Amino acid sequence: MGKFSKGVTISLMRISGDVVMCLLSLFLTMIFMQMSMVEKEHIYIQCVFCVIYILASKSYQLYYVTTFYYIDRVIILVSKSFIIATGITSIAIFAVGKTNIENRYYVVSLAVNYFLLLAAALFLRKFMKALSGIVAPRTALIGNIEQFKKFHHFMNQSSASINEIGYISVTENPGEQYLGCINELEEIVHKHAIDQIYILQRSVKWKVMKNIIQECMEMGVTANVLLHCNHLEGVHMYTSSCGTYPVVTYHTVSLNKYESIIKRILDIVGSLVGIVLSSPIMLVTAIIIRSTSKGPAIFKQVRVGQNGRQFKIYKFRSMYLDAEEKKKELISKNKLESNHMFKLENDPRITKVGKFIRKTSIDELPQFFNVLKGDMSLVGTRPPTMDEIEYYERWHWKRMSIKPGITGLWQVNGRSQITDFQKIVEMDIEYITKWNVLLDIKILFKTIYVIFHHTDAF
């Protein structure tokens, strides 16, 4: 409970400190800019920046106890969180339209924000580290010499508030800082004034562990059990609780709940900006499609989204009305090397207008509404059709563990040249396991470059 309370305390202190720094930044910027008062718009923008910064910091685990002790991590993660908050806030300002915020004021405000947030993080880190040295509990580890050395190395690296006295072995195992055998626990605790015990789960059987914990409780000594969990390649793992149950979670998606919130905010803001900017193009495209071929301007199709959820995808119709019927006749000419996806160069089902809007990716613009609805994301994996997933193997479903996107790694890395579905899945999985907000922003900018250079589309 003590460790949990400490973690929560540091997290609350950091969040409170960041909020105070953001408020202080408003007034310092006002002084630097020689302003008589703070405008409402300045307050709104600063609130948006503050919320996004805190979410980004939480997603990067900047408020975690162990992360907090590494000075290089603090500087890097504060900088990353600042960049994300600045980017999303800037997009939000652009989406709102004309404001009374001057460029000079905004630049000065960002500079003051960064200086104060970084200074606050470094000061609190130094304060907590100094405090930890004063109140560090005297600690003994139950395990062998090798386990103690690894534990000792980690504690030194993280500068955690633990005063290591030595280790207690299940069987006699003399070595440096060896305190004695486990059956001498009571004597060792009294002799060395031990405040807490760390028990390595893999070193002690449950029956013995239960007796150790009971003995510690009778003496008023805190007992901590280090869980031994096997790490799997390419799999993320973390510990948490579900009610009163301790839980070890294995997952492949790198997004935590705070990162998911940031990604959703980016999707909403980005899709709104996309709809506003592309609305004249979409209007003209719809009129041309309706006037040049029979059928609606918008093509709707059931696609498979996150973990099998079905949704209707919106695209500008680029084919004739009987395209789906003709697909069965053309399946043998599929450019891709399997039936997991269908791509056909010089597809006879495509209209003349369709060729142009596909080449320029204009046919994808209505998917901004899918993103706004929450069915899709700006960046993700390509959503398969209902018939395509019938050919999926088990590991292919990993690409379905996130929301599908308008663009993604495959789309910006030579989608027309990559015809091996296995390679496409590997790229999707790479995106899923390495996801971060900066990667999304990088892919979005690269998508714009690809579109304007008319590469890799057919």
SS3 of 135-176: HCCEEEEECCHHHHHHHHHHHHHHCCCCEEEEEEECCCCCCC
- Highest mean pLDDT pick, 1-5, 28-32, 82-86, 366-370: 366-370
pLDDT digits over 156-194, tens only? 665 566 777 888 887 766 667 788 888 889 999 999 889
Sort strands 310-316 and 298-304 into parallel, antiparallel or unpaired.
antiparallel
| pLDDT reading at 155 higher than 90 | no
pLDDT digits (tens, 9 = 90+) for 415-441: 667 777 888 888 998 898 888 888 898
Q: Which of 43-47, 256-260, 289-293, 341-345 is the least confident region?
A: 341-345
Does residue 458 register a pLDDT over 70? Answer: no
Residue 279: count other Cβ atoms within 10 Å of its Cβ: 12
- Quick one: angle between helices 103-135 and 2-32, nearest 10? 150
Nearest Cα neighbor of 122 from 62, 182, 176 is: 62
Residues 77-95 have a mean pLDDT of 88
What pLDDT, on the 0 to 100 scale, is given for residue 282? 95
Does residue 1 register a pLDDT over 60? no
- Whether residue 380 contacts residue 283, with contact meaning beta carbons closer than 8 Å, is answered with no
Asked if residue 19 lies in contact with residue 50, where contact means CB atoms within 8 angstroms, the answer is yes
Angle at 337 between CA 335 and CA 338, to 5 degrees: 110
What are 165's two structure tokens? 């006295």
The model's confidence at residue 335, banded by pLDDT at 50, 70 and 90, is: low
Per-residue pLDDT tens for 298-307? 999 999 999 8
**Lowest mean per-residue pLDDT among 91-95, 101-105, 406-410, 416-420:** 416-420
Name 143's Cβ contacts closer than 8 Å, sequence gap at least 6.
Answer: 151, 167, 168, 169, 170, 199, 200, 203
**Local confidence band at 132 (pLDDT 50, 70, 90 cut-offs):** low
Round to whole Å and give the CA distance between 167 and 170.
10
> Does the CA dihedral 432-436-437-441 come out positive or negative?
negative
Q: Is the pLDDT of residue 4 over 50?
A: no
Q: Among residues 65, 71, 59, 23, which one has the least CA distance to residue 43?
A: 23
**Rounded to the nearest 5°, which phi and psi values hold at 251?**
-155, 160
How many CA atoms, within 13 angstroms, populate the side-chain half-sphere of residue 380? 29
Beta bridge partners of 379: 407
* 235 or 270, greater pLDDT: 270
Helix, strand, coil shares of the chain as percentages rounded to 5?
A: 60, 15, 25
Q: How far apart are CA 64 and CA 238, in angstroms?
A: 13
pLDDT average, residue stretch 127-149: 76
Q: Which pairing describes strands 222-226 and 196-200: parallel, antiparallel, or unpaired?
A: parallel
Query: Residue 249: which of 267, 280, 227, 269 has the closest Cα?
Result: 227
**In the chain, where the domains are located:** 2-134, 136-228, 257-452
pLDDT at 338: 59
The closest of 158, 189, 147 to 67, measured between CA atoms, is: 158
Please compute the mean of the pLDDT values over residues 354-374 and round it to a whole number: 92
pLDDT at position 383 over 80: yes
Give the pLDDT score at 112: 94
Q: What is the pLDDT of residue 131?
A: 64
- pLDDT at residue 336 above 60? no
CA distances from 441 to 245, 266, 409, 445 (A): 38, 9, 12, 6
Which of 129-133, 231-235, 370-374, 422-426 has the lowest average pLDDT?
129-133
What average pLDDT is seen over the chain? 82
Give yes or no for a contact between 407 and 376, defined as CB atoms under 8 angstroms apart: no
Amino acid identity at 130: A
pLDDT value at position 289?
A: 93
Q: What's the mean pLDDT in 101-119?
A: 89
Angle at 342 between CA 345 and CA 320, to 5 degrees: 65
Class of domain 136-228 (CATH, top level)? alpha beta
Determine what percent of the chain is predicted with pLDDT higher than 90.
28
Decide if 82 contacts 41 (C-beta within 8 A). Answer: no
Check residue 2 and give its pLDDT: 45
Q: Chain-centre distance of CA 109, in angstroms?
A: 27
249, containing H or E segment: strand 245-251
Residue 406 is predicted with a pLDDT of 95
Q: Which has the higher per-residue pLDDT, 55 or 328?
A: 55
